[in-house]
Amino acid sequence: MSELLVEARGQVEIATLNRPERLNALSEGLVDELNAYFGGLADRNEVRVVILRGAGRAFCAGLDLQEDRSIDGETPVLRTLRTQTKIGNIYRKMRACPQPIIALGHGAAAGGGLSLLLAADVRYATPDFRCNAAYIRIGLGGCDMASSYFLPRLVGASLAAEMILTGRFIDANRALRAGLISEIIGEETLLDQSLALADEMLATAPWGLRLSKQALNLNIDAQSLDAAMAIEDRQQVILSATEDHKEALAAFLGKRAPVYREQ
């Protein structure tokens, strides 16, 4: 059975971590499936938005520490490096794919599971949600799986340091106040509200949506205001020459819904 279930809803795909008996902990198989899925999205223009969620009681408990990842002849150091690189590549591919990713947190999101949420574009969570950067609790450095990159940018240096240096959990309310999640939503309506958000994204021009994610990615690390505005200017010049821009402008002036054609 696949450890990552993907369901199409028109131009939206719902990707579900499917190891509920292990709280969706990251196995070798799940890591491979996540890498293949997010790595393949760049060539799939028919998919415009992705919703990422977990099956069962939790979003993702992080690395499956009980799985044997050894390969004959591989030293422990190289095994650890291979594991680190393969899991880390998931987050790189999530940020690089042109589709916005809406992540739905429920139950626990720990370690590498937290980073799956952090690498998404929008995060919703249920009232029972809690998350932590678990690494320091098992004798490792607290900075792992891009947590030292994502967390300060999302929640600020103080809370990021508190989480990374202690491994303590924060609950949904604190995550909301800190800006880690956008909204707390009841589990029974979580998917519906994420699909409603996806519908709002689908109402935009396809290339406008893709390039907006790209600009956000680039400008979070922009060296200056001028550098950030140069990216924005480039994006607007490109998009102003598209047929979809002409259609959107005509639809706006005509008070009708646009019909986009450029994929």
pLDDT score recorded for residue 68: 81
pLDDT score recorded for residue 263: 75
pLDDT score recorded for residue 67: 86
Decide if 239 contacts 207 (C-beta within 8 A). yes
The reply to whether CATH 3.40.47.10 applies to domain 4-201 is no
Query: 204-254: which CATH architecture?
Result: Orthogonal Bundle (1.10)
pLDDT score recorded for residue 70: 79
Which residues of the chain are under the pLDDT cut of 50? Answer: none
Name residue 5's beta-bridge partners.
Answer: 16
Positions of E strands within 74-232: 101-105, 108-110, 122-125, 130-132, 170-171, 183-184
Go through 8-44 and write b for each residue having 16 or more CB atoms within 10 A of its CB, e for each that does not.
eeebbbbbbbbbeebbbbbbbebbebbbebbbebeee
pLDDT score recorded for residue 200: 97
Task: Tell which residue, 12, 129, 13, 84, has the closest CA to residue 4.
Answer: 13
The structure's pTM equals 0.94
pLDDT score recorded for residue 1: 81
pLDDT score recorded for residue 145: 94
Which stretch of DSSP H or E encloses residue 52? strand 49-54
Q: For the chain, give every residue range classified as CATH 3.90.226.10.
A: 4-201
> Phi and psi dihedrals of 174, rounded to 5?
-70, -35
Go through 154-183 and write b for each residue having 16 or more CB atoms within 10 A of its CB, e for each that does not.
bbeeebbeebbeebebbebeebbebebbee
Q: Hey, what's the torsion of the CAs at 38, 44, 47, 48, to 10 degrees? A: 90
Which stretch of DSSP H or E encloses residue 128? none
Name residue 103's beta-bridge partners.
Answer: 52, 123
Q: For the chain, give every residue range classified as CATH 1.10.12.
A: 204-254
Per-residue tokens: 174: 């604190």
CA 245 to the chain's CA centroid? 28
User: How many whole angstroms separate alpha carbon 36 and alpha carbon 31?
Assistant: 9
**DSSP 8-class letter at 134:** G
